[in-house]
Structure 1
């Protein structure tokens, strides 16, 4: 798509509002946090339509930006680690490398106002997601370790001809997807409460009482010393190959049929909707890749540990995710039905419990494992990231419900699939699929896959609000 470049108009830094006396502290990173240091920032954002009756564009934008910044400051007082910076301490003899968060000694979160002369239709009408979306986020190609010189949180508000895109780049060593959307949901809640002037601003409450005390295994005393002298020993930078990105929509009815089919084939009722959908994606992408029948292939899922550990409530702020994997040969995967693949995924998820998590952490502390993005870009793997359970479309900033959710460049490779709830809710799911151009063409020709999708192109009616 031939589009003009995004113009950065202004930027500033936003600090936590002083009404909430958060502790002046150093926040130590857990094994889950440290493992994320070479990964990219989380980059997710929401596209909104400008009000249809808008008369004064300049006043609208000035008013919106001021309210976004003020509500962001109030939100950061609850999520104060995001306004800090990473702090690194290292020694040569013996080799030691520690990373922590200084929650106060920084400029705060970055806030950028930018503009681009395109319409919502220009962005959503193409079958494949235009790469211009990558320009709607700060920290392009930055890895989490860069957080010692870059803000841990950066918000970019990009004004379009008829819309607004709010893109958030958050350091993945500080927060996972659950924490990310808890932040976004809280920001939206505070924005709406502030706009509606419901009492003094310092009385704005949130339904979420965050837990900031980082969780460590019993036999671990922070800070964690890594056996390195320099970050070059464990920080690598991954450059993604040229990818096609496309959002496929699955209606609640379509997903219900997939779930019924998978369970029926296995004479069970235990296979979930998402496991059924993941099995479909695994089978169809593997077929699109035209792999040898003896080639090993895997489907990896990001599992939230909070629901599996008694000591970790949903309000825990930080990272608590684990990658679980189901593996087989291409031949077995394609010769057996949807239910066979879905049951393998079900068993993989069901077997992931607190005992497994604690054993992983025990082994990690003996031999620290730092994730490398290149290791995830296995040409025979399908990686299901994010979750359709996140509250994505409940976020409003005075412009009604978002018309679409999109992501940036970060953490993408051939076979990466990001899931979102469908805009209409009700159990519908959107999948953002990243594949090489050839593999994407083959997937788009796959009858089993395309028959399960509801629409290929989002019609005008969905964004004319």
Structure 2
């Protein structure tokens, strides 16, 4: 079960600003506006074996100076949200316009210390993710709308007994996971090269609108933020990391393709089908209960013409495969994977534009409570370059997340420590379901035994 939290002390807090820039107003797309009632993205990196020649003060100075430069490139993150009311001829409020005031107000940087916590404590390979990790992330519990008064980006460096953890809270209405990791990798590149080399992937800031125009904001049909802001508290959850090696993923993919006589099922579809079936089995639902597997998918490459992979903003939709519990569990893995494969294939330019037009006709801000408790949500992606975030003192040992956007059935994918082809899954379930998952034969037959922390540290240095 989750471990008790050792003491974590905040030593300092400051604002990091970019060099002065001309003021700019950034209008938001439907993809951005729909995110205002969910949490910030909270992802962070664990570093060990730091060079003894680097003091903590030197590390902090490097992070702050490189962050200032990074904010020059990713300038919306240094701004704040603003809301303007729309009125009719009688001055009655008819809607709200939300946008980013790119005013250079800055990002937050916090220095904390947790000298009773070790790298091994964070990794806890055989146990649940420790509850103290949520203290490594600032703005805990903040929703994206809070970016009116809170920074859109907040960084916390936590000193551990034998390493450091860099936790980042990134407003999800500003960008999605692709944008988040593009920023994190760019920040690391600036720190590593001392800003000398040009960015390998400079962000593309022109917001994409279906009509091609970004000159006018979109009016939300609400008269007050309370009309679309919702608080969400999940039930008590267990969180655990499961590792899948290159070989186990390859075998799973081959099995799914063989069972349905195809070669078009991807590794992610096969793994998602496995997770969907296994978690559904733990819930002991009736056979006629509807269940879904939602795959977080970016739209950039699916549009025609495609958006740049470096587009900075939100461009994601959940791709949803739905069936009954009986159908899901009475068929084999390949059947479930093929269902997801067909659902993914149907998510194309026409589908995306149709969903956007439907949203424009009836704008909605997604509440977290909307999630179906009989379903599974596969978030993030093992394609994100977690281990490429080298700030100049070596690559990370592992990635971890905060408490944001978690609920029963949320599964977060990370690139595994072995590199491309391996996957780490962070699974969030109510305690009774997690206990059942740990005993699920189909699932655990694909999971690989965890490495001991010292072996993992050596493998990533």
- TM more than 0.5: yes
Q: Corresponding residue for 2:102? A: 103
Q: Corresponding residue for 1:287? A: 281
Query: C-alpha separation between the residues in 2 aligned to 1:60 and 1:94?
Result: 55
Query: C-alpha separation between the residues in 2 aligned to 1:250 and 1:12?
Result: 40
Query: Which stretches in structure 2 are left out of the alignment for 5+ residues?
Result: none
Query: C-alpha separation between the residues in 1 aligned to 2:193 and 2:202?
Result: 17
1:367-446 map, 5 Å: 367-376=362-371, 378-446=372-440
- Do the aligned partners of 2:144 and 2:173 also contact (CA within 8 Å) in 1? yes
- Do the aligned partners of 2:246 and 2:418 also contact (CA within 8 Å) in 1? no
Query: C-alpha separation between the residues in 2 aligned to 1:192 and 1:284?
Result: 42
2:55 is paired with a residue of what secondary structure?
helix
1:200-215 map, 5 Å: 201=195, 203-215=196-208
2:358 is paired with a residue of what secondary structure?
helix
Q: Corresponding residue for 1:156? A: 156
Offset of residue 3 of structure 1: 3.8
**Distance change in 2, residues 1:458/1:354 (3 Å):** farther
Among 76, 79, 98, the residue aligned to 1:81: 76
Q: Corresponding residue for 1:274? A: 268
Deviation string 1:102-142 (CA, Å, 9 cap, x unpaired) is: 00152x00000001121111222251001111110011010
* Residue 115 in structure 1 maps to residue 104 in structure 2: no
Query: C-alpha separation between the residues in 2 aligned to 1:127 and 1:255?
Result: 22
Query: C-alpha separation between the residues in 1 aligned to 2:216 and 2:448?
Result: 49
- Do the aligned partners of 1:226 and 1:368 also contact (CA within 8 Å) in 2? yes
Offset of residue 355 of structure 1: 0.5
- After TM superposition, the structure 1 stretch with the greater mean CA deviation from structure 2, 382-391 or 125-134, is 125-134
2:218 is paired with a residue of what secondary structure?
coil
Query: Which stretches in structure 1 are left out of the alignment for 5+ residues?
Result: 195-200
- Do the aligned partners of 1:393 and 1:402 also contact (CA within 8 Å) in 2? yes
Offset of residue 50 of structure 1: 3.9
Q: Corresponding residue for 1:240? A: 234
TM-score between the two structures when normalised by the length of structure 1 = 0.94
- Do the aligned partners of 2:81 and 2:148 also contact (CA within 8 Å) in 1? yes
1:463 is paired with a residue of what secondary structure?
helix
Query: C-alpha separation between the residues in 2 aligned to 1:398 and 1:165?
Result: 15
- Do the aligned partners of 2:273 and 2:336 also contact (CA within 8 Å) in 1? yes
Offset of residue 458 of structure 1: 4.4
Offset of residue 96 of structure 1: 1.1
Offset of residue 207 of structure 1: 1.2
**Alignment length, in residue pairs?**
449
1:166-315 map, 5 Å: 166-194=166-194, 201=195, 203-218=196-211, 222-309=216-303, 310-315=305-310
Offset of residue 23 of structure 1: 4.5
Query: C-alpha separation between the residues in 1 aligned to 2:48 and 2:121?
Result: 13
Deviation string 1:207-244 (CA, Å, 9 cap, x unpaired) is: 11321111111186620111111100011011121100
Query: C-alpha separation between the residues in 2 aligned to 1:208 and 1:111?
Result: 24
Q: Corresponding residue for 1:10? A: 12
TM-score between the two structures when normalised by the length of structure 2 = 0.95
* Residue 49 in structure 1 maps to residue 48 in structure 2: yes
Query: C-alpha separation between the residues in 2 aligned to 1:389 and 1:236?
Result: 31
2:73 is paired with a residue of what secondary structure?
coil
Offset of residue 151 of structure 1: 0.1
Among 358, 361, 369, the residue aligned to 2:353: 358
**Distance change in 2, residues 1:3/1:142 (3 Å):** closer
Offset of residue 455 of structure 1: 1.8
Query: C-alpha separation between the residues in 2 aligned to 1:139 and 1:353?
Result: 35
Offset of residue 24 of structure 1: 2.1
2:62 is paired with a residue of what secondary structure?
helix
- Do the aligned partners of 1:127 and 1:457 also contact (CA within 8 Å) in 2? no
